[in-house]
Structure 1
Amino acid sequence: MNNNLNCLQPTDQTIILKSRTPAHNFISMSVGKPKRPATNLGPDSLFVHVYDIFIDENILETMVLHTNAKIQEVQLKYKSFKRTHLSRTIGRSTFINLTNINEVCALIGLLYLAGLYKSNHENLSSLWTSDGTGRDIFRCTMTLSRFKFLSCLRFDDANTRRARANDNKLAAISDIFSAWISNCQNNYSPGPILTVDKMYMPKKPARYGLKIVILNDSKTHYMVNAEIYCGKTSDRPRAKNDNNLLPTRSCSPLDTSS
């Protein structure tokens, strides 16, 4: 028994290393924190002020520009517009008018509320009913006809989309999506613990599901980065383990985070 214990005792040849833990191995920040311009928001800031730093004026102006281009194209399909536009008479349907930044913000707000109320399976007209079963905020914001017509919402130049789609399958939304992700990264410094997860959305209008890889702060659940998986592209051919490379690419902003 003693002989077995002797082998565990240190000998003259045993090297015992004693050194201080390097400073870079210490985690000094426990949670993430806002960065400018988010730090300029005071305790009395309204939701709209927070909204403005993520969906900024440049994003909204781009949406209004391309949405109005689509509306002008669709307007000609309405007989009432053709008749009144040529004769300059009154009575043209107002729900086919051009849009503006305020209305686009209102539309996004209604879509957000519809999700908050879990109304994705609810009949759309029921949200606008005035018999007490609907939700007044929808009816007070815009008419149901206008809400449906704003399916004309666009995020890019339709005239150049086909050429851009050859190199970018997300050409219809990539510019707006990238600008939004940049705003998310510019307004927050993530904490030391983050999580990469994949979100699969099988109910999108297209035939196949939409997969999004998201990098979140594990403590605050703040989204630091996101990438929509779109398969093989001309600038980045798909590799056998491309699904495994997605989380690695989503962590790339951490190299410059402060």
Structure 2
Amino acid sequence: MSNPRKRAIRMRDGNTGLEQLLAEDSFDESDFSEIDDSDNFSDSALEDDKVRPLSHLESDGKSPASTDPGRSLKWSTRAMIPRQRYDFTGTPGRKVDVSDITDPLQYFELFFTEELVSKITRETNAQAALLASKPPGPKGFSRMDKWKDTDNDELKVFFAVMLLQGIVQKPELEMFWSTRPLLDTPYLRQIMTGERFLLLFRCLHFVNNSSISAGQSKAQISLQKIKPVFDFLVNKFSTVYTPNRNIAVDESLMLFKGPLAIKQYIPTKRVRFGLKLYVLCESQSGYVWNALVHTGPGMNLKDSADGLKSSRIVLTLVNDLLGQGYCVFLDNFNISPMLFRELHQNRTDAVGTARLNRKQIPNDLKKRIAKGTTVARFCGELMALKWCDTKEVTMLSTFHSDTVIEVNNRNGKKTKKPRVIVDYNENMGAVDSADQMLTSYPSERKRHKVWYKKFFHHLLHITVLNSYILFKKDNPEYTMSHINFRLTLIERLLEKHHKPGQQHLRGRPCSDDVTPLRLSGRHFPKSIPPTSGKQNPTGRCKICCSQYDKDGKKIRKETRYFCAECDVPLCVVPCFEIYHTQKNY
């Protein structure tokens, strides 16, 4: 995922200028701790009367002049109409009631509703039944023989464990249930056994395979595996909350290097290979309001005046916000003058960096200019501005003028920048900021073989991030960090949905102050009963397989015996005695 300030255009000192777009800045979560809901552009570095406030750009209530988006653009050296913004008529804020604004779980359940969890439960049980119906492997043993149908409560505990794995990180899933002192996580075994977690993870499913319609592209068919969940959550993101005036559209990439028809490559992102999403975020907070998955030519997009796919993507994402005076910030991939004109005719302002090879860009701007200078051209509501510092940058805007303002750079020195660039830097990094927040708690496995399960992890984390943003907006005086919000949410999920004794617990102790069943009662070794596929089946000895050989490799040993009371395969000597007499073997 890219750095949230990668696209920011900054001055290095009072004499030098524009940093490269690939500049690497560290992202500090404290930058995200206070969310400003104001709609006005501002710069804390502005001081004297030389700096013109943005109020001179505000609309007088009338619609700015515009012309036909299909005509060829004629650019001039001065603005022919007033540079002004549309009045903002949107109603930002949360649209769904929360009974207790101090409870993180209630915010999470605004998106992850009982309806969604019930659907996942139903499809997971159906997938488990399908897997259990298949013949056992060559050893005649199948883990699906131990499957018991799950329910909503257990799945929510399962999701809580997934979130916890993003905080307590280990390279392999099995290590979360390891009893080695260096890896031991006793509380996790108290919540759910490793075997049950892996079974749930294997059977986790989101759609009936028979309902996946044919006749589509390979990419579209791939997306059907997770599309119902994706559509449900994105719809919730946009109905639960309405964003403030300034919004940003950008690309986001979920890491995935396995075979996948919709896999993309973006060299400018920190994660270069994977599933590409087009995301609309609120600029000030990073709230994910809308998203599209890139699936190639078969995407269902709105039409645009210029016919460019990038323009159609932007219009599709902002469609429900048009006509309300929003301002959308875009990177150069999504920009064309015709798109800006079309947005403006729909009472929506736009700002962004532009590529000089785009159609309708003024030819004057394609010439090199001296360092520290600006060149601006105007056409109706459009302004194209080129600024040269260490590199040349071209901007488009529907309401800015070519005003240059004085700001403080990172070293505290005064420097001058075009106002349009200052505003762009303040509002464009929302998608990258959200990505950075998500990568801090990665529960997805890097070598995950099933892409749609990894994508579900990603959607789960976006849901938590949106929940946290709404929580912060409703509790501005409550200084809860993102990680503490996640921990509290996990605790609330377990408190509400974990039912001790109903989670198929067995084996190692749950906690130090509880005597496990295996250390009390009557236990006798018995032969593992035959299955339909094997007359003399075996199982992995619980004790032997928890040990490591002299080379550090995990021991694997099969046995024909098990404890019928504990339902655990064990060697008769000495493992049976060790298992039932030692608390920590």
Q: Say whether the fold is shared (TM-score over 0.5).
A: yes
Q: Distance in 2 between matches of 1:181 and 1:34?
A: 15
Q: 1:171 aligns with which of 220, 224, 229?
A: 224
Residue matched to 2:279: 214
Hey, which of these two has a bigger chunk of strand by percent?
2
Aligned residue for 2:296, secondary structure, equals coil
Determine the C-alpha separation between the residues in 1 that align with 2:302 and 2:93.
37
Secondary structure, aligned partner of 1:232: helix
* Residue 34 of structure 1, aligned match among 71, 94, 98: 94
| Cα contact 1:63–1:155 (8 A) shared by 2 | yes
1:124 aligns with 2:173: yes
When residues 237 and 42 of structure 1 are mapped into structure 2, their CA distance, relative to the original with a 3 A threshold, is: closer
RMSD between superposed Cα atoms in Å: 3.5
Q: 3-state SS of the aligned residue for 1:210?
A: strand
8 Å contact kept, 1:33–1:190: yes
C-alpha displacement of 1:135: 3.1
User: Per the alignment, in what secondary structure is the counterpart of residue 149 of structure 2?
Assistant: coil
* Counterpart check, 1:21 vs 2:60: yes
Cα separation, partners in 2 of 1:183 and 1:234, compared to 1, 3 Å: closer
Give 1:222 shift.
Answer: 0.9
The residue that corresponds to 2:160 in the other structure is: 109
Q: Which amino acid aligns with 1:67?
A: T
Structure 2 matches for 1:186-225, cutoff 5 A? 186-203=239-256, 205-207=258-260, 208=263, 209-225=274-290
2:210 maps to 1:152: no
Match of 1:53 among 102, 110, 131: 110
The answer for the alignment partner of 2:319 in structure 1 is 252
Give the residue type in structure 1 aligned to 2:152.
I
Measured against aligned partners, the alpha-carbon deviations of 1:112-149 in whole angstroms (never above 9, x if no partner) come to 22223454xx1212211234433344322221112221
Contact 2:132 2:145 in 1 (8 A): no
TM-score when normalising by structure 2:
0.34
- Encode CA deviations 1:41-84: one digit per residue, 9 max, x unaligned: 32332x222221101111111111111111011123476xxx9x
- Aligned residue for 2:249, secondary structure, equals strand
Match of 1:87 in 2: none
| Residue 230 of structure 1, CA deviation | 0.6
Is the Cα contact below 8 Å between 1:225 and 1:253 reproduced in 2?
no
CA distance in 1, matches of 2:319, 2:180: 52
1:69-80 equivalent positions in 2, closer than 5 A: 69-77=126-134
AA aligned to 2:158 is L
Is the CA contact 1:165–1:171 (under 8 Å) kept in the aligned structure 2?
A: no
Cα distance per residue 1:136-190 (max 9 Å; x no partner): 4432222111222122111111122243856943222212211111111111110
Deviations 1:16-35 (A, max 9, x none): xxxx8117834588x94211
Q: Whose helix proportion is higher, 1 or 2?
A: 1
- Provide the rounded CA distance (Å) in 2 between the counterparts of 1:66 and 1:227: 24
The residue identity in structure 1 corresponding to 2:130 is: E
Instruction: Select between 234-243 and 65-74 the one with higher mean Cα deviation.
Output: 234-243
- Alpha-carbon deviation of 1:212? 0.5
Q: 1:256 to 1:224 in 2, by over 3 A?
A: farther
**Partners of 2:250 and 2:280 within 8 A in 1:** yes
- Aligned partners of 1:164 and 1:171 also within 8 Å: no
CA distance in 2, matches of 1:212, 1:219: 20
1:68 counterpart residue number: 125
> Structure 1 regions of 5+ residues with no counterpart?
1-19, 84-91
What SS class does the counterpart of residue 212 from structure 1 fall into?
Answer: strand
User: Is the partner of 2:291 in helix, strand or coil?
Assistant: strand
- Aligned residue among 89, 95, 102 for 1:44: 102
| Cα distance in 2 between the residues matched to 1:165 and 1:106 | 36
1:242 aligns with 2:312: no
Instruction: Provide the secondary structure at the position in 2 that maps to 1:251.
Output: helix
Deviation for aligned residue 1:231: 0.9
Stretches of structure 2 that go unaligned for 5 or more consecutive residues are 1-58, 64-85, 264-273, 327-585
Match of 1:40, SS state, is coil
1:221 aligns to what SS in structure 2? coil
- Structure 1 match to 2:292: 227
1:48 alignment partner, SS class: helix
Q: Give the deviation of 1:254 after TM superposition.
A: 1.6
Q: Match for residue 14 of structure 1?
A: none
Identity of aligned residues (%): 19
Give the distance between the partners of 2:299 and 2:279, measured in 1 at CA: 23
- Of residues 133-142 and 20-29 in structure 1, the stretch that sits farther from structure 2 once superposed is 20-29
Residue equivalent to 2:445: none
Q: Distance in 2 between matches of 1:191 and 1:67?
A: 38
SS in 1 for 2:212: helix
How much has 1:247 moved relative to structure 2? 2.6
Q: Is 2:302–2:312's contact at 8 Å kept on the other side of the alignment? A: no
Q: Which amino acid is 1:21 matched to?
A: D
Supply the distance in 2 between the matched residues of 1:21 and 1:256 (Cα, whole angstroms): 16
Mark the structure with the bigger radius of gyration.
2
Residues in 1 aligned to 2:207 and 2:148: alpha-carbon distance in whole angstroms: 20
1:75 maps to amino acid:
A
For residue 233 of structure 2, the aligned residue among 180, 191, 207 is 180
| CA 1:158–1:164: 2 relative to 1, 3 Å | farther
- Structure 2 Cα separation of the partners of residues 105 and 206 of structure 1: 30
